[in-house]
Amino acid sequence: MSDFPKAIRIVEQGPREGFQFEKQPVPTVAKVELIDALSGTGLSQIQTVSFVNPKMVPQMADAEAVVAGITPKPGVRYTALALNEAGIRRALATGRLDLEGFVSLTASEAFLLRNQRQTMAESIEKQRGAVGLYKAHGIDVNRVSIMAAFGCNFEGDIPVERVLDLVQAGIDIAAGHGSRIRQLNLSDTMGWATPRTIRQVLEKVRARFPDLELALHLHDTRGMGIANAYAGLEMGVSTFDSCVGGLGGCPFAGNPAAAGNVCTEDLVFLCDELGIETGVSAEAMIEAARLAERIVGHPLPGSVKTGGTLARRRAAIAANKGVGQ
Amino acid sequence: MSDFPKAIRIVEQGPREGFQFEKQPVPTVAKVELIDALSGTGLSQIQTVSFVNPKMVPQMADAEAVVAGITPKPGVRYTALALNEAGIRRALATGRLDLEGFVSLTASEAFLLRNQRQTMAESIEKQRGAVGLYKAHGIDVNRVSIMAAFGCNFEGDIPVERVLDLVQAGIDIAAGHGSRIRQLNLSDTMGWATPRTIRQVLEKVRARFPDLELALHLHDTRGMGIANAYAGLEMGVSTFDSCVGGLGGCPFAGNPAAAGNVCTEDLVFLCDELGIETGVSAEAMIEAARLAERIVGHPLPGSVKTGGTLARRRAAIAANKGVGQ
């Protein structure tokens, strides 16, 4: 019935993807404080910043200062997003980051045209160059990421066959530079996935690419985030991107707690209840989520930080009965 | 892999359970306005008010006035909660409500003692009287409802065997008054369920009581509401209680959008995407949720009302392509 992994890896994206969406500038020290707090939760990987054009993404203009301010914790990988030569150079110059090369493809040409002014063919060609660039800087490329894999606001539903073709294209691009793809990250960039489409797409992906490790990058735009993560766990997905507190939502006027990325502490809570190891302390992550709320100055959408964990409830009940501490 | 029903029935609980939790008084006209708006969404059943002691639940002191104010829509059943002789008499006196008798049991004795000052045995005895009371007023009893069926803040995890025993007890109580139980409603009163426990409990319930129609009353306390609903759909659950906008959360100081009951429009959206009929228009329900937000004066936790439906996106895409309207 289900194929739960014994353990999953959570890649925290809050400091990068989350803050990027905030309208108000977030002070560098606050970013550093949150990253340091996240370092103490048991997370093994934190995406800290992106090295992009500060004119396009002003929230990331202080990327170098943020990275310089972190107190690195042994066992934690600090990564960053860098998509071009300038970005890679900036990231490498920090001397503190673990860069990961990847082939970034997009399943919707309408989205590509709108957001990157590229056709599908141009995007694939461009990724050949990007992989060459990573390799030239000694960065291994072992992941294919596919954006809009489950649907697109500008194109609609995405045929599974197109996703499968893009996975193969990504594998081929990497192979052209002597790299072997080990992981596939499917991104529900615009929140189109449901548990059913997660299952449908992953079943076909697993059938055609049985050796690929699966990762999901989920948005909670329509409230399906945790249900989709559960469907992913049932399909054996072993890596999840997520954001502390559910950071990453556009701050809608009417609802300051509008949904962003799937929420890290809610995902950790779910895994705790399913007996799936994450290495992350839900309680510590809840504290980090509260810090994130103080930093952004508005409520974040995650639920467990208000509802509390069941582990804590069970401990309190045991203590009352004189069984526990 | 899944046993999706073709159609489900949604029992809207927002006006009753939702408003009950609001700290600020809600004007009678606003309650009536919301019920009338809900009547236009395609819902077939709306729980309007509860007839309880106004000293205990001041938000329901105007129950008669609310019911008198509704503009009944043909095809919609307007129900109310009445748990004792006085309540039943008040509800019947309105002449406008469709009362449903049910056996109400609770799987946690710790919760019973705390909230109703009853032992398990006393609760079962009391329900014998309640069923007699419904029958004496000509109200059929065909449902067993079990509160705290998945866990309890004061007792912890609930053994499935206890739930099964209570279902049998409920069936026996009804049979003692010549009534046959057709539906079982399992309530996750304190938000302890996960998709896994939903599946575990429902599998055992279905094995032992294969003829019972299954209903779920889910709370989203820890963000698992929609994932739990999906697990329920996979197990063939055909009736869901839910609240427009996700009404029903305690308004936490720090997070005005704290989770309450599972959100009706998010559930409708999920069913639409799965091809499961609800009879409810997601767009009309989103409008009702916005009205509910204006009435309570704070954001409600539902996601689809900010994220928008995919049906609307698809229609817009088709229109742009000149395919649609």
- Lateral strand order in the sheet of B45-51: B77-82, B45-51, B9-12, B239-242, B213-217, B183-187, B141-147, B101-106
Per-residue pLDDT, A255: 47
Residue range A204-247, pLDDT digits in tens: 999 999 999 999 999 999 999 999 999 999 999 999 999 999 99
Instruction: Give me the total of CB pairs closer than 8 Å, taking one residue from chain A and one from chain B.
Output: 138
Query: Which residue spans within chain A are E strands per DSSP?
Result: 9-12, 45-51, 77-82, 101-106, 141-147, 183-187, 213-217, 239-242
| Category of A151 on φ-ψ map: left (φ > 0), alpha (ψ -120 to 50) or beta | left
Looking at chain A, the whole-number percentage of residues with pLDDT higher than 70 is 95
A165: Cβ contacts below 8 Å, ≥ 6 apart: none
Q: Is the Cβ of A307 closer than 8 Å to some Cβ of chain B?
A: yes
Q: Which member of B1, B196, B270 has the closest CB to residue A194?
A: B270
| Cα–Cα distance list, B53 to A5, B83, B221 (Å) | 50, 10, 26
Record: contact B317-A154, CB cut-off 8 A: yes
Residue range B158-209, pLDDT digits in tens: 999 999 999 999 999 999 999 999 999 999 999 999 999 999 999 999 999 9
Per-residue pLDDT, A249: 63
Q: Does pLDDT of A308 surpass 50?
A: yes
Q: Each residue of A313-324: b (16+ CB within 10 Å) or e? A: beebbeeeeeee
Residue range B89-104, pLDDT digits in tens: 999 999 999 998 999 9
Lowest model confidence (mean pLDDT) among A98-102, A157-161, A250-254, B103-107: A250-254
A235 close to A3: Cβ distance less than 8 angstroms: yes
- Residue A108 confidence class, pLDDT cut points 50, 70, 90: very high
Q: Does pLDDT of A256 surpass 80?
A: no
Lowest model confidence (mean pLDDT) among A169-183, B37-51, B115-129, B270-284: B115-129
Q: Does pLDDT of B258 surpass 70?
A: no
Record: contact A307-B191, CB cut-off 8 A: yes
Which positions 253-272 of B are in contact with A (Cβ < 8 Å)?
A: 254-259, 263, 266, 269-270
Q: Is the Cβ of B308 closer than 8 Å to some Cβ of chain A?
A: yes
Per-residue pLDDT, A93: 96
Q: Does pLDDT of B33 surpass 90?
A: yes
Mean per-residue pLDDT, A74-83: 94
Instruction: Give strand pairing partners of B175.
Output: none
Record: contact A257-B256, CB cut-off 8 A: yes
- Residue A325 confidence class, pLDDT cut points 50, 70, 90: very low
Per-residue pLDDT, A252: 40
- The CA distance from B35 to A308, in Å, is 32
What does the mean pLDDT of chain B come to?
93
CA B69, B73, B75, B76 torsion-angle sign: negative
Q: Does pLDDT of A67 surpass 60?
A: yes
A216: Cβ contacts below 8 Å, ≥ 6 apart: A185, A186, A187, A188, A198, A228, A229, A232, A237, A239, A240, A241
CA B115, B116, B122, B124 torsion-angle sign: negative
Q: Which member of B255, B258, B299 has the closest CB to residue A254?
A: B299
Residue A169 C-alpha from the chain's centroid = 22
Q: Which residues of B are catalytic?
A: 250
Record: contact A266-B223, CB cut-off 8 A: yes
Q: Is the Cβ of A223 closer than 8 Å to some Cβ of chain B?
A: yes
Record: contact A254-B293, CB cut-off 8 A: yes
Lowest model confidence (mean pLDDT) among A106-120, A230-244, A269-283: A106-120
Mean per-residue pLDDT, A101-126: 94
Per-residue pLDDT, B323: 53
- Lateral strand order in the sheet of A141-147: A77-82, A45-51, A9-12, A239-242, A213-217, A183-187, A141-147, A101-106
Record: contact B273-A157, CB cut-off 8 A: no
Q: Is the Cβ of A274 closer than 8 Å to some Cβ of chain B?
A: yes
What does the mean pLDDT of chain A come to?
93
Q: Give catalytic status of residue A271 as yes or no.
A: no
Instruction: Give strand pairing partners of A82.
Output: A51
Determine the residue of chain B that is closest to A264 in CA distance: B223
B239 close to B11: Cβ distance less than 8 angstroms: yes
A187 close to A217: Cβ distance less than 8 angstroms: yes
CA distance A236 to chain B (A): 15
Q: Is the ipTM of this complex over 0.90?
A: yes
B305 close to B287: Cβ distance less than 8 angstroms: no
CA distance A185 to chain B (A): 22
Domains of chain B (ranges; CATH) run 9-320 (3.20.20.70)
- Residue A69 confidence class, pLDDT cut points 50, 70, 90: very high
Q: Does pLDDT of A98 surpass 70?
A: yes
Per-residue pLDDT, A294: 95
What residue has token string 């596919």? A146
- The CA distance from A267 to A246, in Å, is 10
Q: Which member of A199, A257, A263 has the closest CB to residue B299?
A: A257
Q: Comparing C-alpha atoms, which of A228, A229, A249 is closest to residue A239? A: A229
Burial of B132 (C-beta count, 10 Å sphere; 0-12/13-18/19+)? middle
Q: Is the Cβ of A312 closer than 8 Å to some Cβ of chain B?
A: no
Looking at chain A, the whole-number percentage of residues with pLDDT higher than 90 is 83
- Residue A254 confidence class, pLDDT cut points 50, 70, 90: very low
Lowest model confidence (mean pLDDT) among A2-6, A110-114, B223-227, B249-253: B249-253
N-to-C CA span, chain B: 37
Q: What is the DSSP letter of A50?
A: E
Q: Is A10 helix (H, G, I), strand (E, B) or coil?
A: strand
Degrees to nearest 5, angle at CA B163 with B245 and B198? 45
Q: Does pLDDT of A3 surpass 80?
A: no
Q: Does pLDDT of B250 surpass 60?
A: no
Q: What is the DSSP letter of B6?
A: S
Which positions 140-169 of B are in contact with A (Cβ < 8 Å)?
A: 151, 153-157
Q: Which member of B151, B195, B308 has the closest CB to residue A310?
A: B151
Residue range A18-35, pLDDT digits in tens: 888 777 889 999 999 999
| Category of A148 on φ-ψ map: left (φ > 0), alpha (ψ -120 to 50) or beta | left
Residue range B277-299, pLDDT digits in tens: 999 999 999 999 999 999 999 88
- Residue B252 confidence class, pLDDT cut points 50, 70, 90: very low
| Cα–Cα distance list, B126 to A101, A223, B103, B173 (Å) | 66, 40, 10, 10
Q: Does pLDDT of B324 surpass 70?
A: no
Residue range B35-47, pLDDT digits in tens: 999 999 999 999 9
CA B199, B204, B209, B210 torsion-angle sign: positive
What is the secondary structure of A135-190 as a DSSP string?
Answer: HHTT--EEEEEEETTT-BTTTBS--HHHHHHHHHHHHHHHHHTT----EEEEE-TT
Tell me which chain B residues have a C-beta less than 8 angstroms from the C-beta of A266: 222-223
